[in-house]
Amino acid sequence: MLVDSHCHLDFPDFQPDFDALMQRAERAGVGMMVSIGTKVSEFDRVLAIAERFDNVYCTVGIHPHEAAAEPDIDADRLVALAAHPKVIGFGETGLDYFYDQSPRDRQRAVFRVHIEAARKTGLPVIVHTRDADDDTAAILTEEAALGPFPGLIHCFSSSRALAETAIGLGFYLSLSGIITFNKADDLRETVKTLPLDRLLVETDSPYLSPVPKRGQRNEPSFVALTAAKLASLKGLDESRLAQVTTDNFLRLFTKVSR
């Protein structure tokens, strides 16, 4: 069984053929999916899908792009929303200095709110980081000094230095279709050196379709393409890779029961 640890099932992109794509995921061996929140104001929409399917879980949080739009969030509100049995983590949150859609100080403040919620509950924080490795590493390190919290760098495509910091703090790293992209040789070299017991796979669908689906809408069934590439980079057969990444997922996301 594979797990798509990061998708956005509530996005309108999936509306036209939702039931068919859920069936394709099942046929591709995707036994569980985590539908990731991007706005607290739209959390109901995310939760509704998780409630409808036994094998869909979700997270609650505010994407760094939305940090300015939803400034009033506090950790207690996130913690309260995560009391629902299908809510298994916080995010996605973090820093995006590539698009800079929210002011950086707001991004940093909202990121720390999510970390506080993770620390209070022991549920993982799902981190988005783009062109912000230094600040992401600094915030994770500072916050960890205040007390431990579990977490995941999603769609990992950063430097080896950030990987080492994150792993040193006990974090996991999730790999997306980016590892199949032609230009991603540096990332593939980094991935070869990452510890197998810290790796997950994801689609980030509807974005980032893996080769050979690149340019098309991504969907959870395509996580099998990313898993196959990761298996070859690690010199494992695909069933072993599926087992290891699923075990890692279950170790990190402690609210999920098999």
* Residues near Ni ion (CB under 5 A): 204
Cβ contact 30:220 at 8 Å: yes
Number of Cβ within a 10 Å radius of residue 44 = 10
Cβ contact 3:246 at 8 Å: yes
Residue nearest to Ni ion (CB): 204
Cβ contact 86:47 at 8 Å: yes
- Least Å distance, CB 256 to Ni ion, is 19
- Least Å distance, CB 147 to Ni ion, is 26
Of 112, 109, 130, 132, the C-alpha closest to 120 is: 112
Number of H helices, E strands in the chain: 9, 8
Give the H or E element holding residue 221: none
Of 154, 221, 210, the C-alpha closest to 178 is: 210
Cβ contact 140:158 at 8 Å: no
Nearer to Ni ion, 46 or 231 (CB): 46
- Least Å distance, CB 15 to Ni ion, is 18
Nearer to Ni ion, 190 or 218 (CB): 218
Nearer to Ni ion, 204 or 219 (CB): 204
Nearer to Ni ion, 143 or 204 (CB): 204
Nearer to Ni ion, 10 or 204 (CB): 204
- Least Å distance, CB 36 to Ni ion, is 5
Angle between the N-to-C axes of helices 133-146 and 104-121, in degrees from 0 to 180, rounded to the nearest 10: 40
- Least Å distance, CB 199 to Ni ion, is 18
- Least Å distance, CB 64 to Ni ion, is 11
- Going across the sheet that includes 125-130, the strands are 2-7, 30-35, 56-60, 87-96, 125-130, 151-153, 172-175, 199-201
Nearer to Ni ion, 15 or 257 (CB): 15
